[in-house]
Each structure stands twice: as structure tokens, then as C-alpha cells.
Amino acid sequence: MNPQIIVLLGQDGISNGAIYALVALSIILVFSVTRVLLIPLGEFVAFSALTMAAIQSGQTAIGWLVLAMALLAALADAWGWWKQRHQRRRRGRRAWWQLCLMPAYALALLALLQCLPLAALPMGVQALLTLAAITPLGPLMYRLFFQPVAHASGLLLMIIAIAVHVSLVGVGLLVFGPEGMRTEPFSEEGLDLGMAYINSQTLWVLALSAIAICSLYLLSTRTLYGKALRATAVNRMGAQLMGISPLLAGRISFGLAAFLCALSGIMIAPLTTLYYDSGFLISLKGFVGAIIGGLASYPVAAAGAIVVGLAEAFSTFWASNYKEVIVFTLILPFLLWRSLKSRQEEEH
């Protein structure tokens, strides 16, 4: 293995690791706020990449999916408000006005996708449309599948997450078809450093991932909603007693996670061909990074995800048939270490 191959593998590993880092951060964000181990987050990555490719080819099927979920969520809200109509008489008008927001958004999005010349749009506008289509699926998923059982046990929430994952794989096959898709690269140029040539796509991935991670940090530490999410993550009951709605916190966490994963899908789409069922492996590799971070530490999870990406890239060169085994084996020493550490804490 010469230095040039090491640089190429390192680029691939860091690029993939940055994607897995965003997925890992999303997993921790959702789990800490809602106790949901959201396995379907990988579907947001795959759906985002496939949506970007579909937009570049002029297809608009994703708009119908958003509209269908928005209507189902509106019906669920309407039924809930109807059952509690006696308690909400003073706020009835505002409640019905809020009920129409998401369907109106979905209709506007569908109208844009139908009217605009999608294939001729600049890539930046296509990326914004992709984010606008995928991000609402997070809060809608929470409203439909997790909000009604928000106080259930963690085991039941995980079973529901697995069921949602299986359902989304079928929906992905229906919406995008069985063929794999890949988008055009953001730029054809790169950075020549003499012995090493850094691909422009790697630079894009690193820059956008760094911006997303810094923005998430500033959001959680500098804004009121971010502090509300942190308070809910630390003590759900205490946050509720202080006037923080756990349902609103759940929707915000799902929305942020969907946004981060949608951004990951846009970044990974030019690097590899993705299929409707590609999200599961992406989720698992992000989950390995989240476990390395103990489902609590964002910096350690991000670093662990980078290690996962590098391990995947170099194992592809040395032992391609066993790369998945090598990647998922990384989780074992961390699980062992954490189990021994927790036992020592219990003894004290």
C-alpha cells in the first residue's frame, strides 16, 4: 500500500465517517429527548439521496408521500382535539388553524414540485427542495407513530421503530422503485497538494458536516428551544413541570434529526449509488458511533463515527468480504468496557 492509496482510502473513510457522524448525532438527539432508538433514521438518508436524484430527473413522487403523511397527521390531531373539545373551547380556533398548517405546507411543496422545471434548476435549489421534502417527515413520523405511545416502555418504542423501518422500506420501493440512483457531483474540481489530491466532494462533505455540527451545538446552547431540548433530555418530568412540552420537544428532535439525515443524504448521493433499502446499513453504522459515545456524548459519538468510516474504507482494501464484520465488531470492546464500568459504579 503506497501513500497515494492511503490518501484515497483516508478521503473515503473521512467522507463516510462524516456522514455516519451526523446520523450518530441524530440518534443521540432523538434518544436523549424521547427515549426512542430511531432505527429508521437511515431511511431519511436514503430517501434524501433518492429524492435529490429524482428531482434531477424531473420526478415528484416524494411530494405525494409528504402530503399523505400530513393528511394522516391532521386527521389524528383532529380526532384528538375532538375528544378533548370541552377542554379546548377557548383555544378552538387556534387549534383548527394549526391543524391546517402541515397539509397546507405539503400542498405548497407538491405544487412547487409539479410546476418548477426540476431538472433545469441549479443544484443548490434542488438541494433546498430535497431538504424541504424530507425534513417534515421527521415530525410527521413522531406524530403518527410515537406521540400516541410517548410514555410507553423503551422496548415497545424500539419495536415500533423497527416496524416503522420495515414499513418505510416498502414505501421507498413504491415511491422510488428498485433501481439505484446517484446524483451529479457538486463540483469537478479538487485540491492538489502535491503528493495528495483531495476530491472536491470530500471537501464539500467535510465543510457541510462541520457547519451542521457547529450549528447543532449553537442551537442547543444559545437558543430557547435548544435549551428546552437539553432540559427534556436531562429530566423529562422536571422539564414538563417547568412548562416545557415533551410533545413539542419530541417533534423538534425528530425534525432536527430528519434535517441532519437529509443533509447527509444530499452529501452522500454523488459518492455512491443508493437504493430504497440502503438506509438500514447507514443507520447501523451511525448506531455504532452512537454506542461508542454511550448514547450521550456528541463529541465522542462523532469521533467514533469517523473511526467507523476509516475502518470501513481500509477494510474494503484489505478484506472487502469482511468489511461489514470488521465495522460492527468495533462495537464489542466499547460494550464490554461500558458494562465493566457500570458494574464498578454499582459496587460503590
Band the pLDDT of 138: cuts 50, 70, 90.
very high
Each residue's pLDDT tens digit, 78-118: 887 777 765 555 555 555 666 788 889 999 999 998 898 88
Cell of 164: 416503522
Assign 3-class secondary structure to 135-202: CCHHHHHHHHHHHHHCCCCHHHHHHHHHHHHHHHHHHHHHHHCCCCECCCCCCCCEEECCCCEEEHHH
Inter-helix orientation angle 101-115/61-83, to 10°? 170
The domain of 219 spans 3-84+96-338
Residue 127: predicted pLDDT? 92
Are 297 and 24 within 8 A, CB to CB?
no
How far from 71 is each of 13, 27, 43, 88, 100, CA to CA, in Å? 41, 27, 21, 22, 9
Does the structure show a pLDDT above 50 at 324?
Answer: yes
What pLDDT shows up at residue 96? 66
In the chain, how many domains are there? Answer: 1
pLDDT at 194: 64
How confident is residue 4, by pLDDT bands cut at 50, 70 and 90? Answer: confident
Domain CATH number, residue 32 = 1.10.3470
Contacts with 52 (C-beta within 8 Å, 6 or more apart), sequence order: 126, 127, 130, 183, 265, 266, 269
Look at residue 267 and tell me if it is in a domain: yes
pTM to 2 decimals? 0.89
Q: Is 347 domain-assigned?
A: no
